[in-house]
């Protein structure tokens, strides 16, 4: 998701032209390309995803390209990961992550953060000073009662991730580059952090950690 000229993408994309393409890269990988084009300004929002058939995983990256002749309106709040997941029964979600290198005895320590539906604000994780592993690593394992999702962000700068349990059955997660607020010149292209998500089943969160390593 993103905001463009002060309007949320959920409303804008309904009127933009869209193309979809799928290409089989090899025995285990299929590339999917989803492109939206704003006819008024020439902005192209393109998502390129790799689907794996041998592992329950998918990775993707979002790009923006200005094909128009003038600078675009302001592009901000870019979240290549913006997901709402709902279970049929109440869940007790736990967010597993690791501290980054803070030059202390706690460097790289594992953290388990239970999520609660009555928390008024999301859990927000981000590194310090634009250093992607200073204070927190960009790897997460979100555990529900019967499995979960292991998530990695590919970004060498200032990323941000947000997790919030909305109610007993619903959870939202968002991630991207922190503090995006920019305009693209004619012909200019930018990309977002790459997202990898792996889906695991069972009661042991180590399943997600090991799957992410694979």
Query: What pLDDT is recorded for position 103?
Result: 87
Q: How confident is the model over 10-38, as a mean pLDDT? A: 97
Paired with 43 in beta bridges are 66
Write b or e for each residue in 83-116: b if 16 or more Cβ atoms lie within 10 A of its Cβ, otherwise e. Answer: eebeeeeebebbbbbbbbeeeeeeeeeeeeeebe
Per-residue pLDDT tens over the stretch 34-66: 999 999 999 999 999 999 999 999 999 999 999
Q: What is the rounded distance in angstroms from the CA atom of residue 153 to the CA atom of residue 45?
A: 19
Residue length, the chain?
A: 214
Contact 12, 77 (CB under 8 A): no
Which pLDDT band holds residue 127 (cuts at 50, 70, 90)? very high
Q: How confident is the model over 4-24, as a mean pLDDT? A: 97
Contact 74, 183 (CB under 8 A): yes
Containing H/E element for 190? Answer: strand 189-191
In whole angstroms, what separates CA 149 from the centre of its chain?
A: 12
Q: What is the rounded distance in angstroms from the CA atom of residue 85 to the CA atom of residue 174?
A: 12
Q: What share of the chain is helix, strand, coil (3-state, %, to 5)?
A: 5, 50, 45
Query: What pLDDT is recorded for position 185?
Result: 98
pLDDT of 118 above 90: no
Per-residue pLDDT tens over the stretch 68-97: 999 999 999 999 999 999 999 999 999 999
Query: What pLDDT is recorded for position 183?
Result: 98
Residue by residue, DSSP assigns 119-130 as -SS-EEE--BTT
Per-residue pLDDT tens over the stretch 178-202: 999 999 999 999 999 999 999 999 9
pLDDT of 214 above 90: no
Q: What is the rounded distance in angstroms from the CA atom of residue 158 to the CA atom of residue 127?
A: 6
Q: What is the rounded distance in angstroms from the CA atom of residue 16 to the CA atom of residue 35?
A: 10
Angstrom CA distances, 5 to 12, 16, 132, 182, 191, stand at 10, 14, 29, 10, 18
pLDDT of 102 above 90: no
Per-residue pLDDT tens over the stretch 132-154: 999 999 999 999 999 999 999 99
- The model carries a pTM of 0.92
């Amino acid at each position: 998701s993103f905001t463009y000229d002060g309007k949320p993408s959920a409303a804008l994309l309904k009127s933009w032209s869209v193309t979809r393409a799928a290409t089989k890269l090899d025995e285990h990988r299929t590339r999917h390309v989803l492109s939206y084009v704003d006819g008024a300004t020439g902005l192209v929002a393109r998502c390129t995803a790799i689907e794996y058939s041998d592992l329950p995983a998918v990775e993707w990256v979002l790009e923006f390209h200005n094909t128009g002749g003038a600078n675009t309106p302001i592009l901000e709040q870019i979240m290549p990961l913006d997901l709402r997941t709902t279970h049929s029964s109440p869940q007790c979600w736990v967010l597993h992550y690791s501290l980054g290198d803070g030059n202390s005895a706690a460097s790289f320590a594992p953290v388990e953060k239970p999520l609660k539906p009555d928390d008024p604000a999301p859990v927000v994780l981000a590194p310090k000073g634009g250093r992607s592993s200073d204070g927190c690593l960009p790897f997460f394992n979100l555990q529900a009662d019967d499995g979960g999702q292991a998530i990695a962000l590919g970004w060498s700068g200032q990323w941000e991730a947000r997790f919030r349990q909305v109610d007993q059955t619903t959870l939202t997660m968002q991630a991207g580059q922190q503090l995006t607020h920019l305009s693209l010149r004619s012909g200019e292209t930018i990309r977002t952090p790459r997202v990898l998500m792996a889906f695991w089943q069972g009661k042991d969160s180590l399943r997600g950690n090991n799957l992410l390593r694979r």
